[in-house]
């Protein structure tokens, strides 16, 4: 009888174990966004990352910081503010449903800035800040420093400026901080908002259509778009019993950021996905791998 070399026996054992290893390390999702980050909100564990330190324009994701600075100032929420010529976008000539002369409360403007990404609303909030727009932008940058957002710079409160830049890593910090504010959570995720403007009743919708889907447990949402930034999305949501933060920057197509979010969700929730397997595979002494749970 021929003896089988020990080396061949070892190779056979490794080969036999390969399907199990492949199952324990599921493929990462295909993400079309240039930069993407998914983290566990509680532990800070990175679940998925792609170009997370790339410094990119962030468009209207800026408005999360605009909301934080507004709320931190503890100004009167019911104070009436007027949209003026100073709030008109002369850089990109973007459309706004808020005409010059529109009078709304600070709270109503905050709601529109977060949910409908109304640029004139965000601008009016900044211009009514003590010290005006310049002091507001300074407060935005100071807050970024306090949050440890070292790769972030703000030049305006709307996100229309391409000089508003950040990284996916920094924006995850911003989302975590913003999620602590009840109004930011509520206003950014409301599917629609109706209010009276003069003699008219106006209805605004959320710029993130995923907030319309009851299957998505979204606790915070903000979209953004300018040509330099592409389409962006930042969310806090609950998946598979865990609170996660998702940041997607510079999505090249109109629907790419939503498709990326859907693929990330599917990847996290499938039985062999990140939540179900990754944390249960551990390497013990002498390189022995055990699967727990």
Query: Catalytic residue numbers?
Result: 60, 63, 117
Query: Is the sign of the CA dihedral 122, 124, 129, 135 positive or negative?
Result: positive
Structure tokens that stand for 24 in this block: 């324990």
CA distance to 2, 62, 155, 229, 250, per residue, from 161 (Å): 76, 10, 7, 10, 15
Nearest Cα to 166, choosing from 69, 50, 59, 46? 59
Find out whether 267 and 31 touch, Cβ atoms under 8 Å: no
The 3-state DSSP composition of the chain as helix, strand, coil percent (nearest 5) reads 40, 25, 35
**Both tokens assigned to 126:** 């900044």
């Amino acid at each position: 009888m021929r003896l089988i070399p020990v080396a061949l026996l070892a190779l056979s054992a490794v080969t036999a174990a390969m399907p199990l290893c492949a199952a324990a390390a599921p493929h990462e999702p295909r993400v079309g966004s240039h930069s993407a980050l998914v983290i566990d909100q509680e532990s800070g564990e990175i679940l998925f990352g792609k170009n997370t330190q790339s410094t990119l324009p962030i468009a209207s994701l800026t408005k999360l910081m605009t909301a934080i600075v507004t709320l931190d100032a503890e100004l009167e929420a019911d104070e009436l503010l007027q949209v003026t010529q100073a709030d008109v976008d002369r850089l990109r000539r973007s459309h706004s449903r808020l005409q010059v002369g529109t009078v709304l409360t600070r709270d109503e403007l905050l709601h529109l800035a977060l949910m409908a990404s109304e640029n004139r609303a965000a601008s009016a909030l900044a211009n009514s800040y003590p010290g005006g727009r310049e002091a507001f932008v300074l407060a935005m940058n100071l807050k970024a420093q306090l949050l440890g957002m070292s790769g972030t710079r703000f030049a305006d409160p709307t996100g229309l400026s391409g000089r508003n830049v950040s990284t996916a890593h920094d924006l995850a910090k911003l989302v975590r901080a913003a999620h602590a504010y009840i109004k930011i959570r509520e206003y950014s995720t409301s599917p629609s908002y109706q209010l009276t403007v003069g003699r008219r009743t106006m209805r605004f919708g959320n710029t993130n259509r995923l907030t319309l889907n009851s299957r998505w447990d979204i606790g915070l949402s903000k979209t953004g778009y300018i040509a330099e930034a592409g389409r962006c999305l930042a969310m806090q949501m609950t998946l598979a019993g865990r609170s996660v933060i998702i940041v997607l920057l510079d999505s090249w197509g109109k629907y790419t950021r939503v498709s990326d979010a859907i693929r990330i969700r599917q990847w996290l929730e499938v039985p062999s996905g990140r939540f179900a397997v990754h944390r249960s595979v551990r390497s013990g002494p002498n390189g022995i791998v055990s699967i727990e749970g």
